[in-house]
Structure 1
Amino acid sequence: MMLGKGHLQAREAATEADLQAAQRLRWLAFMGKRGACDDGAAVDADDYDADCRHVLIEDRRSGQLLATFRFLHLQSGAEIGRSYSARHYDLDRLRDFPGPMVEMGRFCIHPEHGDPDILRLAWGAMTGYVDRHGVQLLFGCSSFIGTETQGYADAFALLKDRHLAPRRWLPRVKAPKVFRFARALARFKPDLRRAQAELPPLLRTYLLMGGWVSDHAVVDDQLGTLHVFTGLEVAAIPPARQRLLRGVAG
């Protein structure tokens, strides 16, 4: 996998050093933002890294790593138990999903860089893989910064009103600490402008393409985030959005 856009390039990790660079960036983006003590070599790593493929988005000019994500290919919903998301959500309903699936995870952008083309290139790289392998569902955990729900009421209310998963796929509660926003905010009407501002960029992109979410958020104390299970059925992506993605994918 190799894809370029301007001064940016996306490629798949090929060496142990590539993986360590991705793990280092993940630590900076998740734990470093919370002020965790940094000895200069701290990384975010887990047992799922060995089973996943890792994408690096770099600046061609300097070679600096600007963003990363990992993905896990599953032949069908029968393999959903292998996913990272299955640690946090009861995904038994998705076991009946018939086609190939990909879990995207640990997506992060370097805290000092915010070029919107980074996210576009990430989606372009994933689109190329989806087309080549006939993937029918993308899923993962979309993270809000912090573990407190204050400040996100409008965003969660918007998710409750417009973007809950179809009941046939809706994840059930599994994690010990969750915020059941669909229930807690049942009568709360969101301010749309505030809601859009509160949504993480990756989740906002999922929703623009027709994605859906769980009815609760998991409190992840390890990463210092709140996250919602997010799914996107490829066949449901609007044709105009598909053309844009394939334009980036080349």
Structure 2
Amino acid sequence: MLQHLQPRQDGRAHASRALHVGLATCETEILEAQKLRYRVFAEEMGARLPTRTPGVDRDIYDPFCSHLIVRDEAAGRIVGTYRILSPTAARRVGGYYSENEFDLTRLQHLRSRLVEIGRSCIDPDYRSGAVIALLWSGLARYMQENGHDYLIGCASISMADGGHTAASLYNRLRERHLAPLEYHVFPRYPLPLASLRGDLDAEAPPLIKGYLRAGAWICGAPAWDPDFNTADLPILMPINKVDARYARHFMGRQD
């Protein structure tokens, strides 16, 4: 679940604040990130979360993940987060979260180099662009320092209109961004594309637009996630194919 929501009408830019990105270093920081996830996904989006603790988004993958966080030091609060599942951690937990939505058989040969990202969210008052830029920088640093080669995740599109926007977006985006056949994955609960309009002039959510501009692929048709009521696109980003502009900005590469 990779989600980027629009700012509230009273949202303000916080670029001038002391925003810092890094991995959570204690259970208190992880819990704060999980509470932020609950506020965004459950309270704002209306998702049904399988949590046993009120106000906390926590599942079986969390103990195995690294939690990337952006903190506003002046306010003393976590304002953005990503969940990162390494190849070693995926083996320990029994697989990737994405495998609940997609058959990843064709990516089997990538597993030792494949990092999964998900549960991304940003506090409504901080959706000016600064926080997502910091999160991406943190992800890039994580990939470099650990020598991983591929990022995978499920990029979400709202199903508020019944799925017509999601179907239209997939039809348009696959023309330029579909992965080579050998990297295709297959939804376990496919969005019923044949029953939906596929010709709407739909705008891609900012996060999906950013991934595709950086060089990511769409690895197949979207799956329906009933708990979040979203259509999820399988996204794969080979790090060696990241667009040079993004590489220089987020990864410090000089090529």
TM-score (norm 1): 0.82
Is structure 2 residue 99 aligned with structure 1 residue 86? Answer: yes
Distance 2:142 2:241 in 1: 17
Q: Which residue of 2 aligns with 1:151?
A: 165
Is structure 2 residue 190 aligned with structure 1 residue 178? Answer: yes
**CA shift at 1:234, angstroms?**
0.7
1:87-113 Cα distance to aligned partner (Å, 9 max, x none): 110001100227522111101111232
1:157 to 1:215, Cα distance in 2 relative to 1, 3 A:
same
Alignment of 1:31-70 (within 5 A): 31-35=42-46, 41-70=54-83
Q: Give yes or no for contact 1:31–1:224 (8 Å, CA) kept in 2.
A: no
- Larger relative contact order (CA 8 Å, sep ≥ 6): 2
Question: Which of 99, 122, 146 is the equivalent residue of 1:109?
Answer: 122
The 3-state SS of whatever aligns with 2:30 is: helix
The residue type paired with residue 44 of structure 2 is: K
Distance 1:157 1:26 in 2: 30
**CA shift at 1:223, angstroms?**
2.4
Is structure 2 residue 244 aligned with structure 1 residue 244? Answer: no
1:74-99 Cα distance to aligned partner (Å, 9 max, x none): 16998996111111100011002275
The 3-state SS of whatever aligns with 2:236 is: strand
Distance 1:65 1:76 in 2: 24
Distance 1:27 1:159 in 2: 30
The 3-state SS of whatever aligns with 1:47 is: coil
| Worse-superposed segment, 65-74 or 97-106 | 97-106
The residue type paired with residue 209 of structure 2 is: R
Q: Which residue of 2 aligns with 1:97?
A: 110
Q: Give yes or no for contact 1:13–1:19 (8 Å, CA) kept in 2.
A: yes
Question: Which of 204, 207, 210 is the equivalent residue of 2:212?
Answer: 207
Query: Runs of 5+ in structure 2 lacking a partner?
Result: 1-14
| Worse-superposed segment, 59-68 or 69-78 | 69-78
What's the C-alpha RMSD, in Å, of the aligned pairs?
3.1
**CA shift at 1:178, angstroms?**
2.0
Distance 1:79 1:95 in 2: 16
Distance 1:132 1:6 in 2: 27
Is structure 2 residue 36 aligned with structure 1 residue 25? Answer: yes
Q: Which residue of 2 aligns with 1:139?
A: 152
Q: Give yes or no for contact 1:80–1:94 (8 Å, CA) kept in 2.
A: no
Distance 1:160 1:80 in 2: 32
The 3-state SS of whatever aligns with 1:226 is: strand
Q: Give yes or no for contact 2:155–2:232 (8 Å, CA) kept in 1.
A: yes
TM-score (norm 2): 0.80
> Matched residues, percent identical?
28
**CA shift at 1:146, angstroms?**
3.7
Question: Which of 223, 232, 237 is the equivalent residue of 1:227?
Answer: 232
The residue type paired with residue 173 of structure 1 is: P
Distance 2:195 2:179 in 1: 17
1:201-233 Cα distance to aligned partner (Å, 9 max, x none): 222111011111132222212223221111001
**CA shift at 1:7, angstroms?**
2.2
| Worse-superposed segment, 5-14 or 46-55 | 5-14
Distance 1:5 1:73 in 2: 32
Distance 2:33 2:175 in 1: 36
Distance 1:114 1:29 in 2: 12
